[in-house]
Each structure stands twice: as C-alpha cells, then as structure tokens.
Amino acid sequence: MIESIDTSLIDWSRAQFALTAIYHWLFVPLTLGLGVIQAIMETIYYRTGDDFWKKTAQFWMKIFGINFAIGVATGLILEFEFGTNWSNYSWFVGDIFGAPLAIEGVLAFFMEATFIAVMFFGWNKVSKGFHLASTWLTIVGATISALWILIANAWMQYPAGMQFNPDTVRNEMFDFWAVALSPVGINKFFHTVISSWIVGAMFVAGIASWYLIKKRETRFALSSIKIAAVFGLVASLLTLWTGDGSAYQVAQKQPMKLAAMEGLYEGQKGAGLVGIGMLNPSKESYNDKADPFIFKLEIPKLLSFLADRDVDAYVPGITNIIEGGYQLNDGTTALSAKEKIARGQLAIKALADYRQAKKNKDEAAADAYRAVLDENFGYFGYGYVKNPADLVPHVGLTFYAFHVMVILGGFFILLFLIAAWLSYKDKFEDKTWLHWVCLFSIPLAYLAGQLGWVVAEVGRQPWAIQDILPVSAAISKLNTSSVQLTFFIFLALFTILLVAEIGIMVKAIKKGPKVPEQ
C-alpha cells in the first residue's frame, strides 16, 4: 500500500479514468436503448410480414452497429486502466472485482459477438425466427454485459461477500451470491439500464422528428416515433421508480453521498427534499457558520421518506456524519470521523504487527494482532485519511448534478407523454414545435445519464471502495507526466472516434431508410 503520493498524480489519474468513462458512456446507453427498439420493430415485422418494418428495423440496426463498434473500443481501454493506473486497487481487491468482469467477458461479450454477426449479415440467410432470436439475444447479451459491470461498480459502493486475508494483504470473495445479488447492485443495474432506454427512445424520436421537419419518410418517422414515445414513457416512469430505490440504498449505505446530493449539513427529523435551490458559495467547510443555501424550495418531509420510508425519520447531514453522536437504525451511536480514522490507523498498524509476528513465528502475538485487525477492519480505509474534511465529497457538483438529472427526468416523462398521446391521435405530424423539441432533446438524454454517473462517483469520494480503500491508496506509483501524456492521447483519440461516429451516423441518417411510404 502507498503511504504518501503526489496528489497531482491522483488528480490526473482520476481525470483520465473519468475522461474514459464519460466517452464510453456516450456509446453504451444508445446501444442498450436502441437495441431494444430495433428488436421491437423486427418483432412487428416477424408477426406482420410487412416489408416496411423490415426496412425500418434495418435502418435503426445500421445506426446501432456504428455505435456498438466504437463503444467496445472505449470499454476495453477503461478496463485496462485498472491495471495501469490503479494497480494497488487491483491487487487489494482483484480477486473479487475481477470475477464479475471475467464473467462479463466470457459470457456476455461472446454472446454478443456470436449473435451480432447473424443479426447484421443473416438477413435472407437464416429463417425469420432465428434472425429475430439473434437480434434479441444480441441486446440481451449487451444487457447482461452491463449487469456484471454494474455489479462490479456496485461492489465498490457497498463491499459485501468478502473477507480480508492479512497473509496476502488481499480481500477474497467468500460469498459470490452476496456480491452478485447485492441490493445496491441489482437496483443499480435496473436504474442504469432502464435510464439508458430513455436515451435510445429520445434518439429515435429526435431523428424521426428531423425527417418530419425535412418532410421526408413520413410513414417511417411517424411509426418510429409511435414506438419510441411509448417505450420512452414506460422507461421514464420505471426510471423514476428505480431512482427511488437508488435513493433508499444510498441513504442506507452511503449517507454522506445523500447529504451531498441535498446540500444537507445539519440533520433533522422530517427532512424536506430540495426541489430547486442555489448553494451558497461562501459555505467553505462543514463546520463554518455560513448558510448552505442562498435560496431553496423544499418538498416537506420527502427526503426522510425517501431515505427511511418514514416521513419523520432522522436524516443526518454532512456535519453530523463528520462529528458523529447520532443514533443509527441498529440502535448504536454513530462514530465521529476522528474515531473512524483512529480505528483505521489501529487496523493498519495491527496488520503490520501481524505480518511481523508471522515473520518471527510468534503465533500467539499474531493471533492477538489478527483479532485487533478483524475488529477494526471495517474502518481500514479511514486510516489513510489525514483530515476529516477530506471525507466530504464535492457538494456543489454532486448537488447540481443530482437536481438537474431529476428535473430532466421529469421533463422526459412529460415529453414522452405528449408525444405518445399525439402519435396515437395521429396529430404528431402537424406539431412542428414538438419536432424541434424532440430533436434538441437528444443531447439532454445523454446529459442526464452522464449526470447520474457524476452523482454516483463524485458523491462517494474519497473512496475507491467505500470505507475500505480511498483513492489515495488505490493509485499506481507512476510518473505524473506519464499520466498527463496518456490523458491527452486518449482525449484526442476518443474525440476523433466520437467525431467519426457522428459523421458516419449523420451520413447514414441523411441517406435515409429508403422504406416504402405506403
């Protein structure tokens, strides 16, 4: 483990990983969402035999394929960075974290690779039923791939099913199902995948609206919008439901993240949820006297209900979590950050003493040190924290990312509801203003997804693994200049790939689907 390291190396390594993740997530949600929509369209073709639906599905499949190929490239680089930039992390928990990623590669990726070939090149070469099954299995494979990656990420948020081996200084998995079926992991999977469906639905509705603006392929556009609007509305409502589940899991497992999401410094019973507000930039620390907000509008008692399913439940704020002393749900009293840091330092020292006793073949002393380590291991990561203030994530970024995301979620529900209603009343074609709204809402769908990841990852800082390993101890010992160089190389490479993808997509969209209008 690293005792001290250049903080600029940490910042640049985090920036590089964030850069790769942001670019990767530009491709993944469209793959997950558009894949389902194109499969629905092919299902209609299979049931009706109408060649119009075959051509419609083939057009969106072309867009899917362009996006899918570039998404794979960025995803591979993202996984390699765990070994290059975060080698201490990989050593410390590789036996656990690597298992879901290995399953994703062996099961899901090969499943996608097998059936995607049939999906693209099997038209008129295999039966309609087998081709339809291949299309659905491709998107199921992509979704399963997301499942295992999100399980791995959720384990970082809520480590479960593991035990620490002081002889190897590694965490080892003892309960695979505790990792795979973690409530945080399952909820994260549904929330992330279903919110990705919104991106696919908004993309289809927006591009189809462009055709209506250009007065081209009217039947294709209206039919695509009808499916996308209903699909998007269902996805938006389900995202609202899974988002509630996410808020509950965060409140139970990561209270500091919840406090940052709401800009809550002083805990209270019957806490209200901030509907809209502006943080006070003069609020510089959890223990200063400045008011956290310039203004805010709250929904009374809703935060307490979301956090604990009780409108009068106590929700701790940032200051309370740092200072401790409040009662937890299990009846115990919350420790202060200083107490957690002390216990973490005790665990780190006990580990060093245990290994020295083992080296000296003093089994009695080793057993005593092991007992101290086991008793305090839950606070192991705190031993690397120098200042309690370091345990507070960036409140402004977390707060605004969360609230803009929620506002956009409400906007999508309203937009898809209007679009679905007008589509099924055959009145969508005449609403030019709505066509423009749908078109310019495409980037908003991407923005909402990115903001969700900002909340998830920025909100849990400084932890690489919640309470167990801070990012300062997870980093590889590299030259900062090397990380800076690769950061700008990746920035240029990913930007070129993104521009190339957009260019190829625009060319395909301008060419059009060439489907029969009658």
Q: For the chain, first and last CA: distance in Å? A: 68
Residue 4 has pLDDT above 70, yes or no: no
pLDDT for 43 beyond 60: yes
pLDDT at 154: 93
In this predicted structure, the answer to whether residue 284 has a pLDDT above a threshold of 90 is: no
Query: Do residues 316 and 252 lie in contact, with contact meaning Cβ atoms separated by under 8 Å?
Result: no
Task: Give which of 292, 257, 263 is closest to 458, Cα–Cα.
Answer: 257
Please compute the mean of the pLDDT values over residues 306-334 and round it to a whole number: 93
Classify 183 in phi/psi space as left (phi over 0), alpha (psi -120 to 50) or beta: alpha
pLDDT of residue 45: 96
pLDDT for 392-418, tens place per residue?
999 999 999 999 999 999 999 999 999
Q: Tens digit of pLDDT for each residue in 84-142?
A: 889 899 888 888 888 888 888 787 778 888 899 999 999 989 999 999 999 999 999 99
Q: Provide the mean pLDDT of the chain.
A: 92
Sign for the CA dihedral angle at 494, 496, 501, 502 comes to positive
Asked which of 74-88, 207-221, 295-309 is least confident by mean pLDDT, the reply is 74-88
Task: Say what the pLDDT of residue 1 is.
Answer: 43
Share above pLDDT 70 across residues of the chain, in percent, rounded to a whole number: 98
pLDDT in tens, 452-461: 999 999 999 9
Report residue 59 CA to chain centroid gap: 29
Summarised one tens digit per residue, pLDDT across range 370-383 is 999 999 999 999 99
Separation between Cα atoms, residue 65 and residue 120, nearest integer Å: 8
The pLDDT-based confidence of 352 (bands split at 50, 70, 90) is very high
Contact predicate 18/188, CB 8 Å: no
**What is the pTM for the complete model shown?**
0.92
Task: Indicate whether 2 pLDDT > 60.
Answer: no
Q: What is the pLDDT of residue 133?
A: 96
- Residue 277's DSSP bridge partners are 296
Quick: pLDDT tens for 144-190.
999 999 999 999 999 999 999 999 999 999 899 999 999 999 999 99
Bridge partners of residue 348, in order along the sequence: none
- Which of left, alpha, beta for 467 (phi over 0: left; psi -120 to 50: alpha)? left
pLDDT band for 518, please (50, 70, 90 cuts).
low
Give pLDDT, residue 517.
Answer: 60
